[in-house]
Structure 1
Amino acid sequence: MSMIGYARVSTTSQDNGLETQKVLLEEAGVTKIFHEKITGTSTKQRAALKECLDYLREGDTLVVTKIDRLARSIFDLNQIVDQLKDRGISIRFLKENMTFEANGKPNSLGTLLFNILGSFAQFERDLIVERTTEGRARAKDQGKHMGRKAGFSNKSMQKALEQYRNREENKMSVSDILKLNGIPKATFYVELKKYETKEK
């Protein structure tokens, strides 16, 4: 009987969002985590999710930080939950504080709440897609270029890490270092953690 976690961020999300999910899953007692960075429009496209579902065994519990991390479609949500329960596998959603026990009796209120939350997740996704499409159309009509802004380079990150290491000597604050190199605070601390791990 193991607690297995699944984490996902969309292709447009920052990597630190994935790290946050991993931390929450580990704090919940998860021993193995499957993760990926892909839009949750269709479960068929998600290799890590398929691998996770295949890995689960009777008596295990699948732990996910939020309902919309598992799927964005209410149909997919119900299908995954029903299939896992039939296999004797429980499902736990941390943010919603909701657990579907494999051998537990059906709870009408819990099932209703699950469907409502799933529907809101799908509705929110549809609104985001609609707003994004409309925004692109307006920008195109106005002759604006739609594309990803150039981000910071690896060289800038290395420079920032070096400046952080010598910050007392250089008399520079973390804020100064980040502004100078154009690096987001959350991204910097993720890289700093990796940097310090290598140094040990």
Structure 2
Amino acid sequence: MIIGYARTSTLDQKAGLEAQRRDLEKAGCEKLFEEQVSSVDVAKREKLAEAIDYLRDGDTLIVTKLDRLARSVAHLLEITGEIERKDARLRILDMDIDTGTSTGKLILTMLGGIGEFERSIMLERQREGIAKAKAEGKYLGRPKTAQAKRQEVLRLHEDGKGATEIAKQLGIGRSSVYRIVQSDGAI
């Protein structure tokens, strides 16, 4: 059986999910598993776990791109190991890789390593850029929206309003209300 797995990082990426679905169906997938969750949240990728669990001897799991499947070489090797233990294979469409062959396994491992290296370089550059911007006083982080409404929070609290009501009225998080009130010594 040919099984497809499609993933996008956010709910806003409907077109990306539709494109993956189209490509997987064109590749002959008989069953599709789809989810919209960040690859960082490996524990929350329930549909990937279901797809791998669904695999049987001789089945093929197909993904459109390597980054839809794994974020690191370690995770990639873990996934391919699970697939191999089930005597199944993995195909990645955009790279024309099939782990049913020795060459496919080799290329997949090499590309996974290159991808992880590329990502770590990108993150290193990002950290350097942020450090430089902070040193120049250009990077101030996210605006402190809740703290900007501190006086309003305290006034509403003194008027007897509850944290949930204050949060809704001011458009901030309830935990921010508690933090402001607590730091003022009112709790």
TM-score w.r.t. structure 1 length?
Answer: 0.60
Task: Give the structure 2 partner of residue 58 of structure 1.
Answer: 57
Q: Which runs of 5+ in 1 are unaligned?
A: 148-200
Sequence identity percentage:
40
SS at match of 2:95: coil
**Bigger CA radius of gyration:** 2
SS at match of 2:108: helix
Amino acid at match of 1:26: E
Report the number of matched residues. Answer: 141
Per-residue CA deviation, residues 31-69 of structure 1 (Å, 9 max, x unaligned), is: 221122222135333111112111222221100111221
- Aligned pair in 2 of structure 1 residues 17, 80: CA closer, same or farther (>3 Å)? same
Task: Give the structure 1 partner of residue 138 of structure 2.
Answer: 142
SS at match of 1:92: strand
1:126 aligns with 2:120: yes
Amino acid at match of 1:35: E
- Runs of 4+ in structure 1 over 6 Å off: none
Query: Is the CA contact 2:10–2:37 (under 8 Å) kept in the aligned structure 1?
Result: yes
SS at match of 1:95: helix
Q: Which runs of 5+ in 2 are unaligned?
A: 144-187
Q: Which residues in structure 2 correspond to 1:87-126 (within 5 Å)?
A: 87-101=86-100, 107=102, 109-126=103-120
Amino acid at match of 1:36: E
1:74, distance to aligned residue in structure 2 (A): 0.8
User: Following the alignment from structure 1 to structure 2, what is the Cα–Cα distance between the partners of residues 3 and 85?
Assistant: 15
Task: Give the structure 2 partner of residue 183 of structure 1.
Answer: none
User: Following the alignment from structure 1 to structure 2, what is the Cα–Cα distance between the partners of residues 110 and 137?
Assistant: 41
- Aligned pair in 2 of structure 1 residues 135, 39: CA closer, same or farther (>3 Å)? farther
- Aligned pair in 2 of structure 1 residues 73, 13: CA closer, same or farther (>3 Å)? farther
